[in-house]
Structure 1
Amino acid sequence: MPIHSYTAHVQELEAFGMGYPLQGEARDRAVLGSWRRCIDQHRLDPSRTSEAHIVPAGQLRAHREESEPLIRIARSGLERLYQQLKGLDYVLLLADRHGVAVDFLGHDSHASDLRSAGLYLGAQWREDVAGTSAVGTCLATGEALTVHQSDHFDFTHTRLSCTAAPIYDLQGQLAAVLDLSLLRSPAARASQQMALHLVTAAVRRVELANLMAQSGSDWVLRLAQSPDFLDV
């Protein structure tokens, strides 16, 4: 799926909004659902571009304080995953249930580019603010997914490839989203299949760690088809 020109991107979104069949490579179901929400519910203009929205420092502090227990539990798992991907230029974002990035791991040397792209602390990725993105669409659907390059609604973000999975709390409520992103990636969407597998596996480990952290006074029965996975 090649990166579109601005004109081609806007034309595709406008044609989709008017109900015309899409030309070229088929889009993922979750992406099309997000495009429809962006046009019909959020009233976003396909021709309007916007740099990443970073919330003010005070607002970020409040979001981080609300998410502090989960950040603390997830941090070691995120660091392990980041080390596995070292050298591949991936950025890890942990976004809260409001779509704000409350933790991230990325190369310090790329800090300026990451902040500009929204792959940074305080970035707001809700669909009604940023359009179709992995974090925002994951929050809207509750599903693990990839939003690759021109899948993004806002042309500003079409160089990014982002893969996200939801983190659920013990009550079954969507508590956060773990996102694995690249500033630049191969054109083929299939190149992010491994990222989808890794982020989904990492989320399961975070959920298990959260369960164990909140079950200190309880007996926990673990079942697995293979004993090799009992300690995962």
Structure 2
Amino acid sequence: MSTRKPAGGPRQLFARSPAERVALARQQFFEEGVRPSGLVGEAVIQSWMRCTRIHADRQRVIAFDAVTPSRLHATMGRNRELLDAARQELVGMESSLAGTDCRVLLTDGQGVIVHVTEHPGTTEQPILRQTARIGVNIAESVVGTTAPGIVATTGQACTVDGAEHYFEYLRHMQCAAAPIRDVRGQLAGVLDLTVEARRFGFDAASMVALYATTIENRLMLAQSHDRLVLRFQASPALLGTPLEALAGIAPEGTVEWLNAAGARLIGGVPEAGPCDVEMLFGLDLAALLRLTRNEAAQPVRLASGLGVWLQARLQGHDGVDFSHAVGLTPAEPKTEAAESTPQQTIDAPQPASDRDGTLRGHSRKLIEDTLALHGGNISHAARQLHVSRGTLYRHLKGLRERDAD
């Protein structure tokens, strides 16, 4: 981008309104070759630069074509977990926006729409009628500068207002979008608010960021089977809210993932990769597992010295939560009726040589101890663990297969 001065006299230096500011930015960028720093956001400037290399004609009409049926089918299947995590929040968000002309769009990480609100029947929104359809690709490489397109490209939340859109065709649109990440830190989706031919009238960026964070937290929790999940914050009142910090602890006792709030409280994600949980939380795995016995948050002090309130939850595969069974209770006395009823029993797995302080070892010992406590009675053990007999069988089968290996 050049910094040369335009010919033909002095150019306008100041804008009196947002519309004039963007018009001046477009003039400087597209006509004069001058970087319009300070007139529009850096995210918009970078998007314009990318778009000039892809889209030659800024005046053309955008078709908003849907992807092929086969790609749409694959996209919907691949994003089922995202849609499940977002369902409750999308309902709440759409209810809040029912009195506005805003549309809620959810895309996958590549910019293909996988959810959209119904079109308000009384409002004229010709462009949104074309855009807001499941299967339409609104990636930057297809429709130019938009908020969801920028987020899908950069992973950073942003807003795009009016003529900040690359194509003139979208100059009456306003959109705000935020990213949704998975436990691997990869972009799983983009949540977007869009309105046509008017302004939002409220802080759309804050609203979309709040809901995107909640969806992201739900997605991370859904992806954390067989993990110890830690919820923590400086105030217990913030637990269970979009401001709560989350961490996933792998079976070997390393911190596998942190959400954004968790990374801020911890002081950043370790650059060297997964590290031992005690290095960040000041407690070893065994101590954290003992905290799962408590439903209420407990005060702990992180390795940094910061005091927080923490809840620990141990969740097995199939969505089974074993936290209530970490501290085994004595078996209930058998009644005569129970003794006279034939019960199915099963031999507990033989002790393996890999007993250690890992999460996997803890879960195995829990199952073995529970079976031993009930004399191998699978029904009683499953009741103690609050799981079905089928689920307990699958756990036992997995343990035996590991022993065989």
TM-score by length of 1: 0.84
* Partner residue in 2 for 1:20: 34
* Partner residue in 2 for 1:136: 149
Residue 88 of structure 2 corresponds to residue 88 of structure 1: no
Residue 195 of structure 2 corresponds to residue 182 of structure 1: yes
Pick one of 119, 141, 155 that aligns with 2:168. 155
* Partner residue in 2 for 1:71: 83
Cα distance between partner residues in 1 of 2:197 and 2:72: 27
CA RMSD of aligned residues (A): 2.7
Pick one of 195, 205, 210 that aligns with 2:204. 195
Residue 130 of structure 2 corresponds to residue 121 of structure 1: no
Are 2:25 and 2:40, in contact at CA under 8 Å, matched by a contact in 1? no
| CA-CA distance at 1:112 after TM superposition | 7.6
Cα distance between partner residues in 1 of 2:201 and 2:176: 8
Cα distance between partner residues in 2 of 1:160 and 1:112: 10
Pick one of 47, 51, 54 that aligns with 1:34. 47
* Partner residue in 2 for 1:60: 72
Residues 162-173 of structure 1 mapped to structure 2, 5 A cutoff: 162-173=175-186
Cα distance between partner residues in 1 of 2:226 and 2:42: 43
Write out the 4+ residue segments of structure 1 that deviate beyond 6 Å after TM superposition.
none
Cα distance between partner residues in 1 of 2:190 and 2:63: 21
Cα distance between partner residues in 1 of 2:75 and 2:206: 28
Cα distance between partner residues in 1 of 2:20 and 2:100: 20
Cα distance between partner residues in 2 of 1:63 and 1:14: 39
| CA-CA distance at 1:136 after TM superposition | 0.9
Label 1:175 to 1:65 Cα distance change in 2 as closer, same or farther (>3 A).
Answer: same
* Partner residue in 2 for 1:209: 218
Are 1:117 and 1:157, in contact at CA under 8 Å, matched by a contact in 2? no
Label 1:168 to 1:111 Cα distance change in 2 as closer, same or farther (>3 A).
Answer: farther
Gap regions ≥5 residues in structure 1:
none
Gap regions ≥5 residues in structure 2:
1-17, 242-405
Q: After the TM superposition, which of the residue ranges 158-167 and 110-119 deviates more from structure 2?
A: 110-119
1:147-171 CA distance string (max 9 Å, x none): 1111111111111111100111100
* Partner residue in 1 for 2:311: none
Q: When the two structures are aligned, how many residues end up with a matched partner?
A: 222
Pick one of 115, 119, 140 that aligns with 1:103. 115
Cα distance between partner residues in 1 of 2:114 and 2:240: 28
Label 1:3 to 1:181 Cα distance change in 2 as closer, same or farther (>3 A).
Answer: farther
Amino acid at match of 1:20: V
Q: Secondary structure at the match of 2:48?
A: helix
Q: Compare CA radii of gyration and give the structure with the larger one.
A: 2
Amino acid at match of 1:55: V
| CA-CA distance at 1:113 after TM superposition | 3.5
Amino acid at match of 1:206: I
Q: After the TM superposition, which of the residue ranges 56-65 and 97-106 deviates more from structure 2?
A: 56-65
Cα distance between partner residues in 1 of 2:86 and 2:59: 38
| CA-CA distance at 1:115 after TM superposition | 5.0
Are 2:138 and 2:148, in contact at CA under 8 Å, matched by a contact in 1? yes
Of structures 1 and 2, the one with the larger relative CO (CA 8 A, separation 6+) is: 1
